[in-house]
Amino acid sequence: FLLLVGSLCAAWQASIKKQKREHQDAMEALVSEVTTAREKDSPEVWRLLEEIDEKETEVTEQMQRRAELQELLATMEEELSSTRKDLKASQQRADQWRRLKDEKERELFAQIRKREDAEREASFLRQSAWLADRTARENVALKKQLQKAEATAASRAAGALPKQIAEMECSPLRCCRGDARPTIKKKLMMKWHPDKQPTAEHVEFATQVMQAMQNQPEWE
131-172 pLDDT, tens digit per residue, is: 888 888 888 888 888 887 766 666 665 567 888 888 888 888
Q: Is the pLDDT of residue 40 over 70?
A: no
pTM of the model: 0.36
Average pLDDT value over all residues in the chain: 79
Q: Is the pLDDT of residue 38 over 60?
A: no
SS3 193: coil
- At 7 the pLDDT is 66
- At 108 the pLDDT is 92
- At 34 the pLDDT is 61
Q: Nearest 5°: CA angle at 171, between 163 and 186?
A: 90
Closest by Cα among 61, 83, 71, 96 to 12: 71
Contacts within 8 Å (CB) and 24+ apart, 201-207: 205/162
State the DSSP string of 78-113.
Answer: HHHHHHHHHHHHHHHHHHHHHHHHHHHHHHHHHHHH
Cα(47)–Cα(59) distance, rounded to whole angstroms?
A: 18
Cα(18)–Cα(106) distance, rounded to whole angstroms?
A: 60
Q: Please, which pLDDT band fits residue 3 given cuts at 50, 70 and 90? A: low
pLDDT more than 90, % of the chain: 7
Give 107-134 pLDDT, tens digit per residue.
999 999 999 999 999 888 888 888 888 8
Give 63-121 pLDDT, tens digit per residue.
788 778 778 877 877 887 888 888 888 888 889 999 999 999 899 999 999 999 999 99
Among 28-32, 87-91, 188-192, whose mean pLDDT is lowest?
Answer: 28-32
- At 52 the pLDDT is 67
Residue 201, number of CB atoms within 10 A of its CB: 9
Q: Is the pLDDT of residue 60 over 70?
A: yes
Average pLDDT over residues 196-210: 85
Average pLDDT over residues 11-35: 70
- At 189 the pLDDT is 86
